[in-house]
Chain A
């Protein structure tokens, strides 16, 4: 357990370092949902190549590492209904709220943005409530 916390903190430092590079060098906020969402709804086509480059690094480099190390099980559910519902909710929700865990959680809280803090508290509480409902009351996940 404590090993996980240390790895969590170390991985977190890397996530923050990535965000710091993207902010200080590129002048952009590292928000995963915004980077892809702007490509999807065309609002971010003005800097599409920068977005695509970020996403390429994000998708391909962990992919290469996992390939070299012989696989990784992310324990994703095999319930297709749950997967589709979850994906749609994450897609709509992050675009309505203009951010997700990286944009609001990491980049927002670190600049003491009221919106970032409010969004993070809200999605954690909503996630906790959903977990209580779907896992402990319905037994669906």
Chain B
């Protein structure tokens, strides 16, 4: 129960932060990616603001044995840069530019972005359903190469 409460709290603060930062506005996100047009650097300020408390939090995980609710802290993943990481990020970046939405803002705006916003979420979930099979194939190709 407490775990769900804090999860909801984190989700709420995340959503409000996205709204306040302007990252729920697809024009601002597309503006960040539009290096050859009217470039909007706002996203860099959002990233800087977000990384600051997170960097402190990661430092705190070093001196604490585990999280407040007892779950072990996530271990640092393998440093290997696999084909799925790079290929997936390329696909994601392209989709991010097309609509100006990434998963966080797409969900934060779900109740007020109309049919288009819901259609985006539906398509995103469909992509997530398709991903695991593709992931195995790419990993196999990467191992063979």
Contact = CB atoms under 8 A, between A and B. Distances in A.
B101 A16 contact: no
Nearest to B99: A86
B101 A90 contact: yes
Interface size class of A (residues with CB under 8 A): 35 or more
Residue among B14, B61, B84 having the largest count of chain A Cβ atoms under 10 Å = B14
Interface residues of B, number: 118
B57 A57 contact: no
Given A83-B119, A88-B126, A10 B24 contact: no
Given A33-B103, A89-B92, A94-B92, A76 B57 contact: no
Nearest to A140: B98
Contacts of A113: 76-77
B49 A16 contact: yes
A9 B48 contact: yes
Interface string B26-62: 1110100111110011110111111111111110110
Contacts, number: 484
Interface in B1-25: 3-25
Given A76-B120, A115-B85, A123-B96, A67 B112 contact: yes
A90 B119 contact: no
Interface of B: 3-28, 30, 33-37, 40-43, 45-58, 60-61, 64, 66-74, 76-81, 84-114, 116-117, 119-132, 134-135, 138
Interface of A: 4-30, 32-33, 36-37, 40-41, 43, 49-63, 65-67, 71-78, 80, 82-98, 100-102, 104-107, 109-111, 113-115, 118-120, 122-132, 134-136, 141
